[in-house]
Structure 1
Amino acid sequence: MTKRQMAYLACTAAVMASGLGAAPSADHRAVHRVRPGESIQQAVDTARPGDTVLILPGTYHESVRVAVPNLTVRGFGARRTVIEPGPASAVDACAKAGNGICVTGTDSSPLTGVTVRALTLRGFAKQGLWASGTDRLTVRGVTAEDNGQWGIAQERSVRGVFRYNTARGNGDAGLFVANTVTTEEGARDTRGTVISHNRLVGNRIGVTVRRLRNLTVVDNEATGNCTGVFVVGDENKPHAGALSVRRNNIHANNRSCPKTPRLPALQGSGIVLTGTEDSLVTRNRVVDNVGTSPLSGGIVLFKSFVGAANRGDVIRDNVVLRNGPADLADRDTAGKDNVFLRNICRVSQPAGRC
Structure 2
Amino acid sequence: MKKCHIAYLACTAALIGTGLGAAPPVAAHTLHVVHPGESIQKAVDAAQPGDTVLLTHGTYHESVDVSTPGLTLRGVGRGTVLEPATAASTGTTAPSTGSGTESGAAKDSKGSKGSKGTKAATSCAASGNGICVVGTKNHNVDDVTIASLTVTGFAKTGLYATEADGLTVRHVTAVKNGVWGIATEHSVHGLFRHNTARDNGDAGLFLANTVKEELGATDTEGTVVERNRLEGNRIGVTVRRLRNLTVAGNQITGNCAGVFVVGDENKPKAGFVTVRDNRIERNNKSCPKTARLDALQGTGVVLTGAEDSLVTHNVIKDNVGKSPLSGGIVLFKSFVGTTSDRNRISDNLLRGNSPDLVNTDTGKGNIFEGNSCRSSKPAGLC
Q: How far apart are 1:26 and its partner, in Å?
A: 5.7
Q: Which runs of 5+ in 2 are unaligned?
A: 1-12, 14-23, 90-117
For the 8 Å contact 2:342–2:367, the answer to whether it is kept is yes
1:193 aligns with 2:223: yes
Q: How far apart are 1:212 and its partner, in Å?
A: 0.2
CA distance in 2, matches of 1:107, 1:309: 32
3-state SS of paired residue (2:29): coil
3-state SS of paired residue (2:261): strand
CA distance in 1, matches of 2:246, 2:136: 23
What's the CA shift string for 1:88-143, capped at 9, x where partnerless?
79952123221000001123432111000000000000000000001110000000
Identical counterparts, % of pairs:
63
Alignment of 1:198-213 (within 5 A): 198-213=228-243
CA distance in 2, matches of 1:315, 1:108: 40
CA distance in 1, matches of 2:85, 2:26: 36
For the 8 Å contact 2:59–2:80, the answer to whether it is kept is yes
The aligned residue for residue 19 of structure 1 is none
The aligned residue for residue 282 of structure 1 is 312
CA distance in 1, matches of 2:140, 2:125: 21
What's the CA shift string for 1:261-288, capped at 9, x where partnerless?
0000000000001000000000000100
CA distance in 1, matches of 2:70, 2:83: 24
The aligned residue for residue 31 of structure 2 is 31
The aligned residue for residue 127 of structure 2 is 97
Larger radius of gyration: 1
The aligned residue for residue 238 of structure 1 is 268
For the 8 Å contact 1:107–1:156, the answer to whether it is kept is no
Q: How far apart are 1:54 and its partner, in Å?
A: 0.3
For the 8 Å contact 1:254–1:268, the answer to whether it is kept is yes
3-state SS of paired residue (1:231): strand
The aligned residue for residue 220 of structure 1 is 250
Alignment of 1:20-169 (within 5 A): 27-78=27-78, 80-87=79-86, 92-169=122-199
1:267 aligns with 2:266: no
CA distance in 1, matches of 2:331, 2:27: 50
3-state SS of paired residue (1:292): coil
CA distance in 2, matches of 1:243, 1:125: 30
The aligned residue for residue 352 of structure 1 is 380
Detail structure 1 runs of 4+ shifted over 3 Å in the superposition: 87-91
The aligned residue for residue 15 of structure 1 is none
State the AA in 1 paired with 2:242: L
Taking structure 1 as the reference length, what is the TM-score of the superposition? Answer: 0.91
3-state SS of paired residue (1:242): strand
CA distance in 2, matches of 1:296, 1:97: 34
3-state SS of paired residue (1:126): coil
Match of 1:341 among 369, 372, 376: 369
For the 8 Å contact 2:299–2:326, the answer to whether it is kept is yes
3-state SS of paired residue (1:37): coil
3-state SS of paired residue (2:239): strand
Match of 1:291 among 302, 321, 326: 321
Cα RMSD after superposing both structures = 1.6
CA distance in 1, matches of 2:138, 2:349: 43
The aligned residue for residue 204 of structure 2 is 174
Match of 1:249 among 263, 279, 284: 279
Indicate the larger mover: 94-103 or 175-184. 94-103
Indicate the larger mover: 312-321 or 86-95. 86-95
Match of 1:329 among 358, 361, 368: 358
What's the CA shift string for 1:9-36, capped at 9, x where partnerless?
xxx9xxxxxxxxxxx9662011000011
